[in-house]
């Protein structure tokens, strides 16, 4: 009887192990975000920080790349890209709506890719 109970406990323990895997708490991502100037930089970074779970967001004007560190238990990189597109900036995956893009200041109107 003791052996049966011991075997059942080991089987239960073995099954529960994969369920305890956690997502990477803080992950770093770098992706393209279109923009032209310091005003764009402020808008892009502010939009990224508006997403709960974003720890760091730095947009490079020369390379047009945004580096973010985020808590994957609270958000995803797709949510960050959606927030940036909502303020008028295209990302490598998600495009801003035309109406929002057209409301950007004239110096912020970057050349859009099809």
Q: Give CA–CA dist 30/42, Å, rounded.
A: 17
Locate the domains of the chain by residue range.
23-108
* Tens digits of residue pLDDT in 43-73: 999 999 999 999 999 999 999 999 999 999 9
Give pTM, 2 decimals: 0.78
Q: Over the chain, what is the mean pLDDT?
A: 88
Q: Smallest Cα–Cα separation from 57: which of 39, 25, 31, 38? A: 31
State the pLDDT confidence band at 114, using cuts at 50, 70 and 90: confident
pLDDT above 70 coverage of the chain, percent? 79
* Tens digits of residue pLDDT in 81-93: 999 999 999 999 9
79 in helix, strand or coil? helix
**The CATH number of domain 23-108, selected from 3.40.50.300, 3.40.50.2020, 3.30.9.10, 3.30.70.100:** 3.30.70.100
């Amino acid at each position: 009887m003791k052996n049966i109970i011991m075997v059942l406990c080991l089987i239960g323990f073995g099954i529960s192990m994969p369920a305890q895997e956690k997502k990477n708490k803080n992950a770093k991502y770098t992706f393209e975000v279109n923009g032209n100037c310091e005003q764009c930089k402020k808008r892009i970074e502010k939009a990224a920080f508006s997403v709960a779970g974003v720890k760091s967001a730095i947009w490079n004007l020369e390379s047009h790349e945004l580096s973010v560190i985020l808590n994957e238990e609270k958000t995803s990189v797709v949510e960050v890209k959606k927030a940036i597109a909502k303020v008028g900036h295209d990302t490598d995956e998600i495009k801003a709506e035309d109406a929002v893009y057209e409301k950007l200041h004239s110096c912020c109107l970057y050349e859009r890719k099809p």
